[in-house]
Chain A
Amino acid sequence: MKDHYDVVIIGGGAHGLACAYYLARDHGITDVAVIDKSYIGAGGSGRNTAIIRSNYLTREGVQFYDASVKLYEGLAQELDFNVMFSQRGHLTLAHNDGSVRTMRRRAEVNKLEGVDSRLVFPDELARICPQLDLSEHPRFPILAALYHPPGGIIRHDAVVWGYARGADQRGVDIHQYTEVTGIDVANGAVTGVRTTKGNLSAGVVLSATAGWASNVAAMVDLELPLDTFPLQACVTEPLKPFLDVVVVSGSLHVYVSQSDRGELVMGASVDPFTSYSMAGSLDFLEGLSGHVLELFPFLSKARILRQWAGLCEMPPDFSPLMGFTPVVNFLLDAGWGTYGFKASPICGKTMAELIATRQTPELLHPFRLTRFAEYDQVGEKGAASVGH
């Protein structure tokens, strides 16, 4: 490790590595270190359910995530790495009138922003996803769904590795198993970072640690509007391919897709109380299984292979915190709750632009940290695990 870097990025996940990659590719800034306390992609980047979509509820959100989907579409080519992006279509089910109304509104907001998204009803649903129980018998009958054809799944590890290799090839240093223990501040500006492998001086420090941002911010005496919750997910043993869309239900707090290996990848909402513990619970497994069987009763004999948890730092308005902070040269890419992975490319690209130009790109302006004091929140109720 050198003793000085122009840019130090804390967190070697998809966000941090993408930022390093675009700093080097677009702005020629290569004196960059990415530091992670574990291996790259050990946090949220390797723990999400790998769903990509842009059918959000707010204009700001839709524009941001749509820019991300467009980058994902060209990512395998760009990184020369097979990220296995499969735009197989994404269904968000509505089980009551209130949800149908929300889906209709989302579809209209999406269309205004040029995103392919529309409301479909059981007759069409039966063609898109005949595996669903569309009868009127279930406790939560399916009345309609928001259909988003460009949505899909990707191999999340490949995204991390692709960005890491691209950044590395352009001269970025990646330091794994190096934990940041402190951040030095003098006269209100960041001067350096202390780590378990030595101290270094830094021009700019970017915190890109999903889940742990409050702890990093505390090193510069900053309190953030974030609370950290675990979110659990699981996979079944491999089954023959039968499901070629992503199925989500906000009311049942469940999302299901089938991976290329045949496993059903399933996630739920955040746990009922905050924690930094990533231990799994039987409560989660029981609740999730019940909800999945509500949608696909024939899966009752499927067996769970493994379960895990990741950390989600939730802001009050379900929108991220990005950009400048009161501490000069300390930047945030935080508050990525349940929706961070799908935003990785655009976060990396816009944060790199912000670091290089010292100007907040237009796409990031709505997500500035000062929005709370300005009473200008971005209420993103289209985020995963937010009930409708």
Chain B
Amino acid sequence: MLRLDCPNCGQRNSAEFRYGGEYDPRPEATIQTAEEDWIRYLYQRRNVMGLQIEWWYHRAGCGLWFLVERDRRSNEVARTWRWQSAGAEKATGEIES
């Protein structure tokens, strides 16, 4: 069973959480935002076989949405942390095979 370290509640069973998809900041919503950027944001996924930064929601706990870096080959969790601001998160997970 995967266990996650919630920034508020500490180590908990993953059944308490909901997976929220890979971290992919939303394009800035202005009149100039190109349609292709929205389409890419809405549909395309990196779906890496390696480290991924992703959202999790502590639904059976404190209700926090937070970030997790997890290796999708082994499900090993590298770190968990509180989201700060858009653009501040640097993805270290490049495609490795």
Residues of A near any B CB (own CB < 8 A): 181, 212, 214-215, 218, 223-228, 272-277, 279, 281-283, 313, 316, 372-373
Q: List 12 extra interface pairs beyond A215-B95, A273-B2, A279-B75, CB under 8 A.
A: A212-B49, A215-B48, A223-B45, A224-B44, A225-B45, A226-B47, A228-B72, A273-B19, A276-B49, A282-B1, A313-B47, A372-B43
Q: Is the CB of A276 within 8 A of B73?
A: yes
Q: Is the CB of B47 within 8 A of A224?
A: yes
Q: Is the CB of A214 within 8 A of B46?
A: yes
Q: Is the CB of B45 within 8 A of A227?
A: yes
What are 27 A-B contacts with C-beta separation under 8 Å? A212-B49, A214-B45, A214-B49, A215-B95, A215-B97, A218-B46, A223-B40, A224-B44, A224-B45, A224-B47, A225-B44, A226-B45, A227-B21, A227-B22, A227-B47, A228-B72, A275-B72, A275-B75, A276-B49, A276-B72, A279-B75, A281-B1, A282-B1, A283-B15, A372-B42, A372-B43, A373-B36
Q: Which of B57-97 contact A (CB under 8 A)?
A: 72-75, 95, 97
List the A side residues contacting B1 at CB < 8 Å: 281-283
Q: How far is the CB of B38 from chain A (nearest CB, A)?
A: 10
List the A side residues contacting B46 at CB < 8 Å: 214, 218, 223
Residues of B near any A CB (own CB < 8 A): 1-2, 14-15, 18-19, 21-22, 36, 39-40, 42-49, 54, 72-75, 95, 97
Of all chain A residues, the one with the shortest Cβ separation from B2 is: A273
Q: How far is the CB of B30 from chain A (nearest CB, A)?
A: 20
Q: Is the CB of A225 within 8 A of B2?
A: no
List the B side residues contacting A277 at CB < 8 Å: 72-75
List the B side residues contacting A273 at CB < 8 Å: 2, 14, 19
Q: How far is the CB of A290 from chain B (nearest CB, A)?
A: 14
List the A side residues contacting B44 at CB < 8 Å: 223-225
What's the count of A-B pairs with C-beta under 8 Å?
A: 64
Q: Is the CB of B45 within 8 A of A218?
A: no
Q: Given the complex of chains A and B, what is the CA–CA distance between A351 and B96 in angstroms? A: 30
Q: A223-B45, A225-B44, A227-B21 are in contact. Are A274 and B15 (CB under 8 A)?
A: no
Q: A218-B95, A227-B21, A273-B2 are in contact. Are A373 and B47 (CB under 8 A)?
A: no
Q: Given the complex of chains A and B, what is the CA–CA distance between A272 and B74 in angstroms? A: 15
Q: A275-B75, A276-B72, A276-B73 are in contact. Are A228 and B15 (CB under 8 A)?
A: no
Q: Is the CB of A316 within 8 A of B43?
A: yes
List the A side residues contacting B21 at CB < 8 Å: 227
Q: A215-B49, A273-B19 are in contact. Are A225 and B43 (CB under 8 A)?
A: yes
List the A side residues contacting B39 at CB < 8 Å: 372-373
List the B side residues contacting A372 at CB < 8 Å: 39, 42-43
Q: Given the complex of chains A and B, what is the CA–CA distance between A275 and B21 in angstroms? A: 11
List the A side residues contacting B73 at CB < 8 Å: 276-277
Q: How far is the CB of A5 from chain B (nearest CB, A)?
A: 23
Q: Given the complex of chains A and B, what is the CA–CA distance between A214 and B94 in angstroms? A: 13
Q: Given the complex of chains A and B, what is the CA–CA distance between A226 and B72 in angstroms? A: 14
List the B side residues contacting A214 at CB < 8 Å: 45-49
Q: How far is the CB of B71 from chain A (nearest CB, A)?
A: 9
Of all chain A residues, the one with the shortest Cβ separation from B44 is: A223
Q: How far is the CB of B1 from chain A (nearest CB, A)?
A: 6
Q: How far is the CB of B14 from chain A (nearest CB, A)?
A: 7
List the B side residues contacting A272 at CB < 8 Å: 14, 18-19
List the B side residues contacting A281 at CB < 8 Å: 1
Q: How far is the CB of B12 from chain A (nearest CB, A)?
A: 14
- List the 5 shortest-distance A-B pairs measured between CB atoms, nearest first: A214-B47, A273-B19, A225-B43, A223-B44, A372-B43
Q: How far is the CB of A270 from chain B (nearest CB, A)?
A: 11
Q: Is the CB of B47 within 8 A of A228?
A: yes
**Most-contacted residue by chain B among A223, A275, A279 (CB, 10 A):** A275
Q: How far is the CB of B67 from chain A (nearest CB, A)?
A: 14
